[in-house]
Structure 1
Amino acid sequence: MKRKLPSLRERQRLETRRLVQKHATRLFLARGYDETTVNDVAEAAGVSSMTVYRHFPTKEDLVLRDEYNERVGERIASRPKSEPLVQRIGRTLIEDIGPMVGAGAPGGKELLLARVRLVMETPALRARQWEGQYAIQKAIVEALRDESNDPDWEFRLWVASGACCAAMRAAVMRWAEQDGRPDLSRLVADALAIAFEGQFP
């Protein structure tokens, strides 16, 4: 399946979101999450508070939300249906994580590392973290729901996506604890191999 290129408007929307998120992360790290207001973020990014809320409905979303969740389902759906379900999900997660921290990535490795550290250090963000995983799972389930008439298919999707996402989260946490030195794609693959007993070489 050929990936559809984003329109100019979509690219501008993503650029605004990334700019706001970059400034939010910088301020949260410098001043503290609780001490930084949405108005502070808007001023630093050179946009209105309304613009910030349009892209990030809550303060927590400034750290936890990204466009990744919105695309993962369609990428998994585009993989061969002959692959086992956990392979389709897991291999997509492995392939997607590398570009997020590679050269030319929006914000690059340092921004992702900062966001992960903020989640690890901030109780309010840790309490909301499960919502990010739920959003990814929901995107996967919705993208693959119609592929089977098996009455247990949707349940299988929730279980498989949940297990893969949990493995990825463990890998990302280990990566952050080691200051982003390990190869993140390799760590995710290793975590999936542990979870699924070697199915991800």
Structure 2
Amino acid sequence: MSHLPLRLYVDSLYTSPYAMSVFVALREKGLAFETVPLDLDAGQHQAAGYARLSLTQRVPTLEEGEFSLSESSAITEYLDEAYPDTPIYPADRQQRARARQVQAWLRSDLLPIRQERSTLVVFCGQQMPPLSPVAQAAAGKLISVAQQLLAGNPHYLFGNWSIVDVDLAVMLNRLILNGDAVPAELVAYARRQWQRPSVQEWVNQPRPGL
């Protein structure tokens, strides 16, 4: 089966957790792809050519021949259907639905954590001041949900590794890598996800100094 060339548009600082999610998915599936960094500060994602390619003018966007798709969880779901040999979502339908639920939640809720613990903390070692009360409440919710999902300390959320483990680990690491209080079993879980070669490849991308 011949594949169309794949191109992944990411932010030039390699700090987008959503671009990371798709990058890891492509690596886990063993797919050849070209990474195209865009300088978001310079507005390259708003240029006319990219706007034609990316419906939402955001990164990541995946280009496959004449087809292009933006929004990371839509891309990873598409990749799992288009290239099913190495699954990145649970095989069981209900587990798969749960995985999508967790992805949607991590992307739509917990905004105070994303605001006060940007991924510069995760990928560039930036240190931020203590969480505000509203962010503390969001962190409490994140920790509570993660503890429910990982009751019994499994290695992964759904039995085997899935792309959602990366997404949850990134959110936890916003707190962990800033030195915020996170229960030891969740720290161990996040560390385990971080050790995957596909994740390490993204983490170790060269980044300009802050």
Shorter-chain TM-score bucket reads under 0.3
TM-score scaled to structure 2, two decimals? 0.27
Q: Write 1 or 2 for the structure with the bigger share of helix.
A: 1
Q: Write 1 or 2 for the structure with the bigger share of strand.
A: 2
